[in-house]
Structure 1
Amino acid sequence: MAKITVVTDAWHPQVNGVVRSLDSTIDEMRRLGHEIMLVTPDKFRNVPLPSYPEIRIALTRYSTVAKAIDRFQPSFVHIATEGPLGYYTRKWCLKNGMPFSTSYHTRFPEYVSARIPLPKSLLYGFVRRFHNAGNLCMVATQSLESELSARGFRNLRRWTRGIDHSLYQPQPLLDKPFGLPRPIFMQVGRVAVEKNIPAFLELDLPGSKVVVGDGPDREKLEKAHPDVLFTGSKFGQELADHYAQADVFVFPSKTDTFGNVILEALACGVPVAAYPVTGPADILGDHPEAGALDSDLRTACLKALACSRSGARALAETYTWEAATRQFLGNVMQANGITMAAE
């Protein structure tokens, strides 16, 4: 069994797809018998990122990170994020001639340029140099692979995602869930500018709208849309219960690289409405029975009402964390010139 160091600047208490994906993958790798060392902000003195208090930035030195990795003596190193811990580990790998893999989870250039007037081309150059220094960069979808390849990213490999089918599953539908008339159009995720939530809230739709999640834009959007139910963040079974009562899950983001929440909704038997962009297009593109894609989000929402709840669940069942984790492990080993034996 392998000793694998996994480094991420995105970690608890953050609630996002990066953390959920790494959590599930690490749990599965440990179940398969691998020894995992985590390098995460909670292991160091850290401070909250301004305007994003749940994002913690590690305040440490290269030497501290290097000593921790030296003590573990990993067989493989995977760097998940382009933050301070990711850069220190990248430096350690290059200095010690250690092959390493990375993963591209977040459209960092788009997220930064939405808040700070910096050109995306400059930011993409920064991110490209980070990932191209490694031996292999993992991406979740074919469309993202094609896009990054066109931007000069090299050695791209696929790493898909999974879903906990026992937690997220269909449930009996209530007549008036949350005390609201049907159909229920629901959005789940961080309430922040990059999620494009106003595109959903401003739609003229029948029934009711529900937003599950929290974030810096919640108060502003809640005031602007008093007719919408904002529930705040939900977790575990309570989150699954919320998903299961929706008639349509609406995914308005145009910047996500995958959209784990799409799988969670599908697993609960909820058809998805989204723009035809990276993430939803890769998941739903060949499965019109499970959701609708349209450049007009209202049209997608109304089409999704006619989609199949059983079709949504069936699509979700094709995604498992075991398969995704074996793909991840194969990539990590390939970065070191090793081919993982088929089982």
Structure 2
Amino acid sequence: MKARIFALTMIITVSAFANCGKTEVVSEDKVKTTFANPVWDGADPWMTQQGDDYVYCYSANNSIMLSRSKYLTRKGELKRIWQAPANSWNSHSVWAPEIHFVDGHWYVYYAAGSTPGSPFINQRTGVLRSKTSDAFSDYEDMGMLYTGDNPDDPESNVWAIDMTILEHNGKLFAIWSGWKEQRDTDATPQHLYIQEMENPYTLKGTRVLLSSPEESWETGGPLNLNEGAQILKNGDQVFVVYSCRESWLKEYRQGMLQLNDPDGDLLDPANWTKKGPVFEGTAQVHGVGHVSFVKSPDGTEDWIVYHSKKTTEPGWDRNVRMQPFTWNADGTPNFGTPVPAGKEIDRPSGEAEIEAAEAQ
């Protein structure tokens, strides 16, 4: 902390001399070196980076929004990139969008349904593609992905949400949360599936059941589920960090799948080892879930971005939080415990220096 304050002071001092002709000089006490959770309201936070910018993707009012900011801890410029159409398979309940850069385009994966409100039995996964290499470009709708067991019969599609993608050894894979078969109730167990992709908007072959809620720490409530899978890499090690238990309860938490052999078959469930819980709530922070991972602005720190419940009461009133994490000696992530609301945390390394420089 002292080293970072010293570095920040030097930046401000040098900047003050370089801009001595200007009337306003930023002093050390004008740039905060800490922040506190939560950072904003919301759920299912997905954040990635494009150059020096943090791109935050989220749903609002049946639309998909992007924020672009130099700061991990603050939203910036906003743009609505997609509005749900009327009278379509994806007209309602737009959930948990993610944005990924693949082969020169940005792809947004999201869940939506044809009918409003509960029961949410018609959720399917759709894909948008950017028209340029800029995340803030216009997007075209690439349609619905088939996530069932019989690709030759599109009408046999099956409920699917929270799709993410994994690039590994020159191949592209989709991982999502789905049902084993289509049901007429949303009180249906959810599983993680994996499938190779022909391209970022077309699945290849058939889906493979990767993980089911079976362990004692991912079961025990009214509905067993695995959802919100996210990819985390450390060298040649590959991890799938996912949410389990019930999203509306304080017991919502994170489990993890670890790829045993990076050169082995990713579609073989035996090549993955389940561990957990790897990140869970405390008496002060409730229902931590649906994470994403980014680096600090200077690339020296790893950060987990996640949501938590505002109260212990059942429901989906949530806010977004973030904190740094480290790595164990064996290369697995160590997420620690969630930092309580209001407790000061050092800003992501390099962030305060950016603010000081931009203020000149």
Quickly name the TM-score band, shorter chain normalised.
Answer: under 0.3
TM-score, normalised by the number of residues in structure 2: 0.26
- Report the structure number with the largest CA radius of gyration: 2
Normalized per residue, which structure has more strand?
A: 2
Normalized per residue, which structure has more helix?
A: 1
